[in-house]
A and B are shown apart, each in its own frame.
Chain A
Amino acid sequence: MEATTLTENVSDVEPSETLTFWKSMKEEAEKTYALLFYNRWPSWLAGILMAILALMIFLWHFPWGISGGYHNWGDWLYYLSGVTDTRPLFPWLHPVSVLNIGMIGGALVSALLSREFRIQKTSQLEYLKGILGGMLMGIGSAFAGGCIEGGFYTAIGIFSMGGFAMMAGLGAGSYIGLRYLIWETDNMPQNTAYRQPVSSRKQRFLNWQQAQPYLGGFIVLAVITAFYFYSFFDVTEIGGICFFGMLVGIVMHRSRFCFVRVFRCPLMTGDAEMVKTVSLSLVIYAMGSAVIKWNFLQPDMMGVYHPFWIGSLIGGVFFGMGMIIAGTCASSALWRMAEGNTKIMAAVISFCIVNPLVTEALKYSGIENLLGTGVFVPKVLTWHITLPLYALFFLLVTQLAVWNEKTEKFVIF
């Protein structure tokens, strides 16, 4: 009180209490927290951030993918149940698995900091669709040598021709999947899939809503600590992957980024937003990977193994059907699962069980050899032709999507 009377005489502008450095910092932190975690991030921003993170992961270790991690988890299920006797790489040392774990962690951080974590239960039919969709996605990933991220997004971003073949397949698969969903709503109407949430049944001793942000902060610290642990044991690279995974998880959850929408929305509502977003993201991704590959920072053929064109195309069709029926793709499954969605958990488990099985079957039957090989676009067309053609292609795709939004030419119902 004494302090304020002194300042009052000096100037009439400033205030009854002094603004200390710490107080100012606290105010700013609260404002930033509200900005980041009370609002949804716009999808275009997420598209740009995703491309930047994908490029960082590419420079740090490898081109980004998801299904390799699911494959590793599936291998463990088979190993632990005694079906196979070769021990797979530990999930905390397998790079793709670590990236996935980082993403789940990041999505959990985001869900907790925004107080959005809640176990969501659903009907038997929905669980069945989750399992079936997961199986189809597992089969599709085995054929295409990757899921919608590794086989489509990253493949196109690093100029692997298979990515374009998978894109066509995903379009066809989405069409079939959506046709099924429409048939289902007409013929198998569900009156309700609602199950009362557990937490509202009784008063908890702990205020869960209040506790969520603290738990979220704790996970951030845990991931950062994990990085130092990895570094201490001489696997800094894996630690970095985990950290980048967390950032991807946060970006995806805050913006509810979902690759399925690229293919579903133009057919369902005509909405072109995600087509524009992912096209923008892929142009940035490609610019970055052109810098990296043309300049020989990473080898030309790195990550270019997608079986062009039969494997990628067939894989795309299976994956497309699966993602529409399950209501998720491989990457958005990670953040939806972290948000408490139990249908998606069922989809992930069936993906993990089916994917290694089909991959092995393709290998041993020799079918794998018929599916095609990795084709690096600039090797066929040269960099000088590839780059303008690439830009033109995505300009055309976005224009087509915008035209469809106005005319609803491709909207199914």
Chain B
Amino acid sequence: MSEENIKSDKILDTRGLTCPMPLLKVKKELKGMKSGQILEVLGTDPGSKTDIPNFVRKRGSQLIDLTEDAEGFTRYYIKI
């Protein structure tokens, strides 16, 4: 699906959803994953671009990459 080298363990599609749904779903998804796994999040909400990185930093995880897809949405790669 993506040209990236990062291999994600799970993909969460939040495209079309607006604040607070993307963050709520990310939080729920991260809870069920193991340390070291990578979650790929797709999103269209402009607010998520600051919300998701802030939240990930706060819970001690790592945002490995954030890329803009040509189709007009953002991909976030989060390492638990």
Contact = CB atoms under 8 A, between A and B. Distances in A.
Interface string A267-304: 01111000000000000000000000000000000000
Interface stretch (B2-10, B15-23, B33-41, B60-68): B15-23
Interface string B61-80: 00000000001110000000
Contact of B18 (A185, A192, A324, A341): A341
The contact size tier of chain B is 20 to 34
A231 to B, nearest CB: 36
Contact of A269 (B14, B17, B23): B23
Contacts of A192: 13, 15-16
Interface string A206-227: 0000000000000000000000
A123 B20 contact: no
A123 B15 CA distance: 10
Given A116-B46, A269-B55, A327-B21, A121 B16 contact: yes
Nearest to B55: A269
Contacts of B24: 181-182, 185, 268
B27 A197 contact: no
B21 A339 contact: no
A211 to B, nearest CB: 17
Consensus secondary structure, chain B interface: loop
Contact of A271 (B18, B47, B54): B54
Most B C-beta atoms less than 10 A away, residue of A116, A118, A122, A200: A122
Given A120-B44, A185-B28, A341-B18, A191 B13 contact: yes
B20 A194 contact: no
A34 interface: no
The contact size tier of chain A is 35 or more
A126 B17 contact: yes
A344 B46 CA distance: 14
Interface string A105-133: 00000000000101011110010000000
A343 interface: yes
B63 to A, nearest CB: 15
Given A185-B25, A268-B24, A269-B23, A122 B47 contact: no
Consensus secondary structure, chain A interface: loop
A344 B19 CA distance: 11
B20 A120 contact: no
A194 B25 CA distance: 15
A195 interface: yes
Most A C-beta atoms less than 10 A away, residue of B21, B54, B71, B73: B21
Contact of A122 (B13, B17, B23, B73): B17
A200 B72 contact: yes
A383 to B, nearest CB: 39
A338 B14 CA distance: 21
B47 A256 contact: yes
A95 to B, nearest CB: 30
A191 B55 CA distance: 22
A40 B50 contact: yes
Most A C-beta atoms less than 10 A away, residue of B47, B50, B58: B47
Contact of B20 (A200, A264, A413): A264
A41 to B, nearest CB: 11
A395 interface: no
A268 B54 CA distance: 13
Contacts of A344: 18
Given A185-B25, A191-B13, A327 B72 contact: no
Given A269-B27, A413-B28, 7 more contacts: A122-B18, A126-B21, A256-B47, A256-B50, A268-B23, A327-B18, A413-B27
Interface of A: 40, 116, 118, 120-123, 126, 181-182, 185-186, 190-197, 200, 256, 258, 264, 268-271, 324, 327, 336, 339, 341, 343-344, 413
19 contacts: A116-B46, A118-B72, A122-B17, A182-B28, A185-B21, A190-B17, A194-B13, A194-B16, A200-B71, A256-B47, A256-B50, A258-B19, A268-B23, A269-B58, A271-B55, A271-B58, A327-B20, A336-B18, A341-B18
